[in-house]
Amino acid sequence: MIPAMNWIDPSVTIEIPDDVPLENALRRTTHMAIGAHPDDLEIFAYHGIATCFGQRDKWFTGLTMTDGAGSARTGVYEHHSDEDMVAVRRTEQNQAARVGQYSLQIQLGLSSQELKMKQNWKRIKADLSEILTICEPRFLYLHNPFDKHATHIAVLARCLEALRTLPKDLQPEMVYGCEVWRGLDWLPDAQKVALDTSQYPNLFQSLIGLYDSQISGGKRYDLAALGRQHANATYFDSHSVDESTSITWAIDLTALMDKDAPDLLNWCYSILRRFRLEVKGNIESFL
């Protein structure tokens, strides 16, 4: 039975690049990313985009939660109102979906304030549960819990709640927490997942370059994202030749879908304790 699709309302924008029926675009999803703002997906989930690009048995679906109204702006965008920026960023995200050959791109159009208000959490969780139930992605890319952007953490928290409502057979095989507003190269190696983003470098640059409102608007995400991923590959291992030219670091969040999993805060504390012990051991060895 097809769920009621209660998440579709006037504030929701749906882009299907190859114009198949909505149900088909949802159902064929194999890789999915849920991000806070327009352009987040292309930065942290490029691994999924590239894996599906040009394939017919793998399809990437993007879900962007907020409208991006509060972005920094200068130059040609200096005098754009928040409403103007929402329209521009919505268009840029849909252009990325077309260039990246996504199965579909959903933009829920929430404001950051709406997303963070506790009285909305139950509805947002229900919407996410419904979308995940329809799409059944095998691989899911999310923000990571060590990110310093509050809106990113708010999105992650609602996603984990939604995932825990799903029966086991509808949950993804893998859930990755990926880097945007804080790198993950500091994680102990046992906790890191290397997502190789070397494939189709021109596609990556094209996707990030579509977000002119951010780049010309005063934030060089194109240079920053590319530089970080190249640095991740080079600084991965000091004693071996680079096996890839570009890596996004992620942390495996799959276990947090379990209803009996530790809460997110205590789980993060356990990772930080491991990092502390690693640093302590390295220093004490030479004192």
**Is the model's pLDDT at 2 over the cut of 60?**
no
Domains of the chain: 13-260 (3.40.50.10320)
**Is the model's pLDDT at 178 over the cut of 80?**
yes
Rounded to two decimals, the pTM is 0.95
The predicted model gives 182-208 an average pLDDT of: 95
Instruction: Give yes or no for a contact between 244 and 233, defined as CB atoms under 8 angstroms apart.
Output: yes
- Residue 62 is inside which H or E element, if any? strand 60-66
pLDDT at residue 3 in the model = 60
- Give the bridge partners for 174, in sequence order: 139
Reduce the DSSP state of residue 242 to 3 states and report it: coil
Instruction: Give yes or no for a contact between 76 and 83, defined as CB atoms under 8 angstroms apart.
Output: no
- Please tell me which residue, 240 or 208, carries the higher pLDDT value: 208
Query: How does pLDDT run across 132-150, given as a tens digit for each residue?
Result: 999 999 999 999 999 999 9
What whole-number distance in Å separates Cα of residue 148 and Cα of residue 276?
19
The predicted model gives 191-219 an average pLDDT of: 94
State the Cα angle at 189 between 231 and 174, rounded to 5°. Answer: 95
pLDDT at residue 70 in the model = 80
- 188: Cα within 13 Å, side-chain hemisphere: 16
Instruction: Give yes or no for a contact between 59 and 29, defined as CB atoms under 8 angstroms apart.
Output: yes
Structural tokens at position 225? 């994202």
Query: How does pLDDT run across 272-286, given as a tens digit for each residue?
Result: 999 999 999 999 999
The predicted model gives 158-172 an average pLDDT of: 96
pLDDT at residue 1 in the model = 46
Structural tokens at position 168? 């086991």
